[in-house]
Amino acid sequence: MGIERSTDGKFVIWRYDRLRVLGILGILERQLDELEELFKDKSQIFEFAPVKKELGRDFLAAFYLDPPIDFTVVRNLSGESSIVTYSLDEDKSREIIDSFVERSGFIPRKPDPDFVETIETEFFYLERITYENCLGASVAENIDLERIFGAVRYANFLYSYRKIPFPDSRKKAHEKFGLEKYL
């Protein structure tokens, strides 16, 4: 299994076995704390964490439940922003990003080399290892990969962005993806 990168219009796409990472770069005029409201109609399957504010940039993490898609928006003070998804479903990731772009007024632009390098170095290699661990557990336990991937990603979302203690995040994620007996 090798990492394959391609561009398709506004998207940069990384493929590794079934893992798909999609990224898009652009300008977002809105503040991130305004965005959850745009997806109230999807509140049963799209969960948002509070905006995480850092020096010079803000992060908005969200999790789409079916299929499991980890969704992050980063916005700096000038409005330059990026959207990145991690999933096993490239088509649904595209659909969610396109919906976000349409609803938020996000203006895509051509991805630059710094954006591509950031995803590849800071995220993708760690995500590749996480994916391989999920794949190994799926084979060893004879469980659907999507359920394990979803539980792992969702537990991380709850712990890292919603600040739910890890044992509780893990329990909730296992329950959400029907893996209670593996706790």
Q: List the chain domain ranges.
A: 4-182
Question: Does 168 or 122 have the greater pLDDT score?
Answer: 168
Region of poorest pLDDT, from 34-43, 107-116, 128-137, 147-156: 34-43
Q: d(Cα 67, Cα 176) in Å, to the nearest integer?
A: 12
pLDDT at 38: 84
The answer to whether 72 touches 60, Cβ cutoff 8 Å, is yes
* SS3 of the chain: helix, strand, coil, percent, to 5: 45, 30, 25
Instruction: Please give the model's pTM, rounded to 2 decimal places.
Output: 0.92
pLDDT of 44 > 80? The answer is no
